[in-house]
Structure 1
């Protein structure tokens, strides 16, 4: 594509903004259409593994994000009574994968990505409809309330219920309910000391991790019918489900307010899409391959997608070829991991816990093994800063 080409990104989440920044770095004029009235990310915090941090290195943001985030890995897996099933360390994770696993708020990452774009690149409160995917002879066309936009590339980054995906592949069944719901909180809990942990019970789990600013990030998941809601409020529901679990969980719940708790049902795309592109339109992130959060790779894979898409912006078939096999395999691993963590039978849970303990005694903890072949990924292009440094010396 010529450098004056226009890219329209539908969706202003992490994947869409990363794609916008990467395409802007490549010289494209970029328009981001976000239907929400502001760039307010869904969710609370985000774990970034070395694979996505290397992807952010390409656009010159990796080191800044590493500085803003808390390293993960010191802690491990526990039972609801507090017994440790496995212990891990941040140093072991960094050594195994060539870099740290880190945690930061989604809002922080969105803010830093948006700051890399021209002031007029992002339009909030903008609903968009794909009117024409285009082909080699004509541009794609996106309809908004302010008129139509023509684009040499349209990026569908509009999430798990993607309208762009439905327009490209109307016969695809779309996402399925994964069988469980999640809660997330970010809040200060003064005076509470704890080691990072993920605790697995029967059909339930809880995780608590520190953020760099002194607050903590907590999340929970439980098997539940789709669309369920607490009869009173979600904090009360968490107290019923987790109030008698080990410290610091009761202290976290005591410090939380009802409005601090976010609840979302989990869906995933069980049947892979036939491709991640059609015409001049490419899909990324949850729009292409939504997966359960059990490996913490949903946002990471969206960031990878964005960087690889910018690399293959003139050949979307190459983008599909590069991303579909990898993300399909990771999504399937995430489904298997979710089934393991959300096991509900007493015997199944006993066998699972014994397996985790045995695996951790004979080598790296299951937590680290789950990232093999994922966290060691490297992007196809050199970091933007390195490219610029090379250009400056010529």
Structure 2
């Protein structure tokens, strides 16, 4: 008797439940795989800026119509938090996905017939494949690329903030296009963002900004954000010295026009600023037999490319397509096809960003 439930068509362990991990899990579940997603955090303390959402993103990942989804992701520039929340809601609604939070993965392993990960408390999660979606400091990458395990510091950081338009003195004309500004050896990007309800009406949305700065690398090293040539963590608001806040306020008044100056000053006053050291990773491979990488675990371009999220989305779709079409040849063959499909594209993306980074870091 047909129950109407599709048979299980393999299993995967996805390490990381940020954007790339959730997208990979959704795409693999769509083709009938059982997916365990392991996330070391509990969703608190996450940080993110703005990104460009693809048309029909959730529909493509899940294979479901927009009306049947718990949350939608409108096309265009969105906050990281809004996109993550929608992906998380879709994953929670998918019976083939099991999310395990506060699960710290120590290493990834494999043999001829399976792949698995070992957690910090010695638990084992195994599947037909293991997908590393664990960011620029990926643990899974150490097994896939043991000769090149680390992303490298690009020589500068980005200050990030988001402000409600209503919090700033009223403006006659609110910007609706991406602003790209240069001043004092810095580069500044500003954009309009919807609020939590999706509002983009003038004066009722948000302004998001990112300020590229190559002049404070000593601060990053002093705070342990960068050790050697490896990025370890973001400089959080509470760890930014008061002297640095004052310097940023002076520079904002000097270099950036209204309303961007006002947005920066508001974030500084609220101590709602983070400083993220820019890491870059140019991959030589994405796969080792039953282990594969997606998103920032696979390739880390500077955010100046504007295509990091899109590349992660393409990774997820390509991974599911290759696994779905190559089942007869085996999972290892499927992952090799995934690598062939994605490697050159993501290398070009990272290399394009490196051209900017070399010039900007020297200029700072």
Q: Under TM normalisation by the shorter chain, which class is it? A: 0.7 to 0.9
Aligned residue-pair number:
306
Q: Deviations over 1:351-387 (max 9, x none)?
A: xxxxxxxxxxxxxxxxxxxxxxxxxxxxxxxxxxxxx
- Counterpart CA distance in 1 for 2:72 and 2:87 is 15
Structure 2 runs not aligned, ≥5 long: 1-6, 196-204, 224-239, 324-330
What TM-score does the superposition give when structure 1 sets the normalisation length? 0.70
Q: Deviations over 1:163-207 (max 9, x none)?
A: 110122221152111111111111213223432311022431112
Match status 1:36 vs 2:37: no
- Counterpart CA distance in 1 for 2:214 and 2:337 is 38
Q: What is the correspondence of 1:101-116 to structure 2 with a 5 Å cutoff? A: 102-116=76-90
- Equivalent pair of 1:13/1:41 in contact (CA under 8 Å): no
- Equivalent pair of 1:294/1:335 in contact (CA under 8 Å): no
Match status 1:20 vs 2:11: no
Q: Which has the higher relative contact order, 1 or 2, with Cα contacts under 8 A spaced 6 or more apart? A: 1
Of 140, 147, 160, the residue aligned with 2:136 is 160
- Counterpart CA distance in 1 for 2:132 and 2:343 is 15
- Equivalent residue for 1:385? none
Structure 1 runs not aligned, ≥5 long: 70-99, 346-394
Q: Deviations over 1:115-166 (max 9, x none)?
A: 122467111111113341333xx21011123721111111100010111101
Q: Structure 1 residues 210 and 223, CA, compared in 2 at 3 Å: closer, same or farther?
A: same
- Equivalent pair of 2:305/2:353 in contact (CA under 8 Å): yes
- Equivalent residue for 2:354? 335
3-state SS in 2 of match to 1:9: strand
- Counterpart CA distance in 1 for 2:86 and 2:316 is 16
In the TM superposition, residue 298 of structure 1 has moved relative to its aligned partner by 1.4
Match status 1:279 vs 2:289: yes
Q: Structure 1 residues 68 and 310, CA, compared in 2 at 3 Å: closer, same or farther?
A: closer
Match status 1:310 vs 2:320: yes
- Counterpart CA distance in 1 for 2:244 and 2:164 is 18
Q: Write out the 4+ residue segments of structure 1 that deviate beyond 6 Å after TM superposition.
A: 61-67
Match status 1:246 vs 2:254: no
In the TM superposition, residue 341 of structure 1 has moved relative to its aligned partner by 5.9
The alignment yields a C-alpha RMSD, in angstroms, of 2.7
In the TM superposition, residue 340 of structure 1 has moved relative to its aligned partner by 5.4
Q: Deviations over 1:225-284 (max 9, x none)?
A: 2625653165434213322222222211332234311111001014x32x2111211101
Q: Structure 1 residues 308 and 126, CA, compared in 2 at 3 Å: closer, same or farther?
A: same
Of 117, 126, 139, the residue aligned with 1:142 is 117
Of 179, 188, 194, the residue aligned with 2:174 is 194
Q: What is the correspondence of 1:148-227 to structure 2 with a 5 Å cutoff? A: 148-172=124-148, 174-190=150-166, 191-192=170-171, 193-195=173-175, 196=177, 197-213=179-195, 214-224=205-215, 225=217, 227=220
- Equivalent pair of 1:31/1:121 in contact (CA under 8 Å): yes
3-state SS in 2 of match to 1:113: helix
- Counterpart CA distance in 2 for 1:335 and 1:154 is 29
- Equivalent pair of 2:70/2:89 in contact (CA under 8 Å): no
3-state SS in 2 of match to 1:27: coil
- Counterpart CA distance in 2 for 1:233 and 1:297 is 34
3-state SS in 1 of match to 2:246: helix
3-state SS in 1 of match to 2:298: helix
